[in-house]
Structure 1
Amino acid sequence: MSVYTTVTPEALEPWLARYDIGRLVALKGIAAGVTNTNYFVTTTQGRYVLTLFEALQLDELPFYLNLTHHLSRHGVAVAGPVADRTDQFASMLAGKPACLVHCLPGTDVSAPTPAQCAQVGAMLASMHIAGDTFPMSMPNPRGPHWWSVTAAAVYPFMAPADAALLRDELHLQNSHRYAYLPRGIIHADLFRDNVLFDGEQISGFIDFYYACNDLLLYDLAIAVNDWAMLADGDIDNERARAFIDAYRAVRPLQQAEIEAWPLMLRAAAIRFWVSRLYDLHLPAAGELTYAKDPAAFQHVLERHRQRTDFWL
């Protein structure tokens, strides 16, 4: 969540007139994340998050916005979209598709406890179950093919040994097929900064704009890699077990998922190592931008290659 497209109060006010949420009081850019432009919008009736989509088109947004609306109706804590007077969730602003979502109470946590990891794990499993009845679908735009294409673009910037490691891991992933594993709606980016806590209680999941249909186990691996990550790229055993045990208490894993788990953790690390390399070396222009360290997920991957205990 960065600011690539500048929106002034003067430009925002007529757009906000489409909504029954009061008059604009304050507008503040959010300088975190890497994909879309985001602002906090405060009105006389509440606080919201305004998102302008830098890559997605207006006709692509119904999947994401209807998904969060669906999940909220099924008891999953999410930041739901706000409909305008014509019952639309999105429209054009400053030349970009834009929407408002409710601003949930609380903040993200940088150093989660095992108890917080357990709450997120249980909510993720509930989200996967609720997604079974969502009628729309979206292929994963950042799946294995995207990893390979993007890796080719960043190899020239990498140290030879690091590039060799990435090539080796991509070859390994390409030699495995997971078509037999359960699929469904996944968040695909459930990092610590995409979950809010109000005190010690989970407030909700946010930023569903990488959500898609893919392997449920892959979504679990993405989350565990971040929520249990230590500063050196190793994984905290207590946090990982708390997350996974809480998830499995809601949605038990199949035996095939248990067998695929070690490689799935490595796949999830590859996805974010590659994307962060791309954002670092080939960044988009923006007013306020924030690029995350790609080395963090290289270290996670290296530790997974040596691991023998996978917490299952």
Structure 2
Amino acid sequence: MSVYTQLTDAQFAEFCQRFGVAFARAIPITQGIKNSNWFIQTTDDNEGEHSYVFTLFEERPPSDIEKMAVILNQLVGKLPVAAPMALVDGKDKSYVIHYDNKAITLVPCLSGAHPQQTTETMCADMGAALAVLHETLQALQPSEDYGVALYPWNEVRDREIQFMPSDEAKLMLVIWQSYSDLPLDTLPKGLCHLDMFADNTLWHLDDNNETLSGLLDFTEVSVEHYVMDIAITINDFCTTWGDAEQGESVDFDRQKMAAFLQGYESKRTLNTDEKQALPVMLAKAAVIFWLLRLNVIHYNRTEGRTGDNIMVKNPDLMKRLAAYHWSHVEKA
């Protein structure tokens, strides 16, 4: 994730001590767009090694992050996740430090690397992992007590659509209406990740062998239709992203999508309504992340966020993916 809040080495040392960790060095992590993250090297690490990820959550309140800790502990043993460490300086078990009305967590580093590209095998494995996530989190009931509230994307839409060319606004609105017309009440819901992009996964990649070794960033876990979570994940895992500024299009691989769905259904079967809803969900999921990226640009501008550690993903790529998916809905 990008780094928005700056901390001193003395602050890092104090916070890490509360988790029982001897701090040596903090290394900024610049991928992503929402929270401030650093790798933490300890006094026991060798040169270049880091043992933990230190996260300062810029938007989610500490109560949401406590829920996230419960969710991650529910998944331990079922999926490759790293659960937040408990504080060692209090009587009550807690996983969160409160700092300037924000939450701080420390989690062990998972091994592996972010994939530069995906394969059909990786897509199938990711589909199976997402289904296991959906099934496992059903044990947390009522699910609304654990998931955070869904973001009000309709408000972002209403703000941003005023500044769009008419063809872009029309595309967004027609996809939104098509989503609203789905039989949403028949689509199963539960706790969903809602941000399972490839850069939120880790893999051991060697000798043409790909093994999933880490699932990251559970800050957006919310109660949502499972097929929306599937669509969000497919959109990234099955797409090769071009350079929008160079006029390159996105390349969506339908064979990868088939592999993903086969992997998913090896663990959880989709019902007929979910299968019929998926094409529209793929388009709507692209619209949501189109709006998300526009929203990040909006808040960076209004809050004066600048600097080399701020990364903004291009919203035009998601706009083009939304248009691709909508063209297939129209053809159906």
Q: Do these two structures clear the TM 0.5 threshold for a shared fold by scoring above it?
A: yes
| Matched residue, 2:126 | 120
**For 2:194, which of 188, 201, 204 is the aligned residue?**
188
Q: CA deviation at 1:94?
A: 5.5
Q: Which of structure 1's runs of 4+ aligned residues deviate more than 4 A?
A: none
Taking the aligned partners of 1:286 and 1:102, their CA distance within structure 2 comes to 29
Q: 1:140 to 1:5 in 2, by over 3 A?
A: same
Match of 2:176 among 170, 175, 194: 170
> 1:241–1:175: structure 2 CA closer, same or farther, 3 Å change rule?
closer
What is aligned with 2:66? 62
- What is the CA-CA distance between 1:223 and the residue it aligns to? 0.3
Is the 2:71–2:146 Cα contact (8 Å) retained in structure 1? no
C-alpha distance after superposition, 1:118-144 (max 9, x if no partner): 1111111111110111234325422xx
Offset, 1:230: 2.7
1:307 and 2:302 correspond:
no
In 2: Cα distance, 1:62 partner to 1:177 partner: 33
* Partner of residue 158 from structure 2, selected from 120, 127, 152: 152
Structure 1 position 80, deviation (Å)? 1.5
1:31 aligns with 2:30: yes
Gaps of at least 5 residues in structure 1 are: none
The normalised TM-score by structure 1 is: 0.92
Equivalent residue for 2:8?
Answer: 8
- What's the Cα RMSD here? 2.0
The residue that corresponds to 2:81 in the other structure is 78
Alignment of 1:258-277 (within 5 A): 258-277=275-294
**Counterpart of 2:282 in structure 1: which amino acid?**
L
Instruction: State the percentage of identical aligned residues.
Output: 28
CA contact (8 A) 1:9 1:27 kept: yes
Greater mean alpha carbon deviation, residues 226-235 or residues 110-119: 226-235
Q: Which amino acid aligns with 2:103?
A: P
Could you tell me whether the CA contact under 8 Å between 2:148 and 2:220 is conserved in 1?
Answer: no
CA change 1:60–1:286 in 2 (3 A) is farther
* Aligned residue among 203, 210, 214 for 1:197: 203
Residues 47-102 of structure 1: per-residue CA shift (max 9 Å, x gap):
111111111112222211110111114x1111211111133110123653101111
Aligned to 1:236: 253
- Distance in 1 between residues matched to 2:187 and 2:260, nearest whole Å: 20
Specify the alignment match of 2:42 in structure 1. Answer: 43
1:56 is matched by which residue type in structure 2? R
**Partner Cα distance (1:29, 1:76) in 2:** 26
Verify: 1:292 aligned to 2:313, yes or no.
yes
Tell me the alpha carbon deviations over residues 167-222 of structure 1, each in whole angstroms, 9 at most, x when there is no partner: 22223323334122111111000001000112221111100101111111110010
Provide the rounded CA distance (Å) in 1 between the counterparts of 2:288 and 2:233: 12
User: TM-score scaled to structure 2, two decimals?
Assistant: 0.86
**Residue of 216, 226, 237 corresponding to 1:227:** 237
Aligned-partner Cα distance in 1 for 2:274–2:312? 32
CA contact (8 A) 1:148 1:170 kept: no
Give CA deviations for 1:263-308 in whole Å, capped at 9, x if unaligned.
1111211110111122234425255211111111111111111226
Are 1:252 and 2:269 matched, yes or no?
yes
Gaps of 5+ in 2: 45-49, 242-248
Give the equivalent residue in structure 1 for 2:47.
none
Deviations 1:139-166 (A, max 9, x none): 5422xxx222101221233222212221
Contact 1:157–1:281 (CA under 8 A) maintained in structure 2:
no
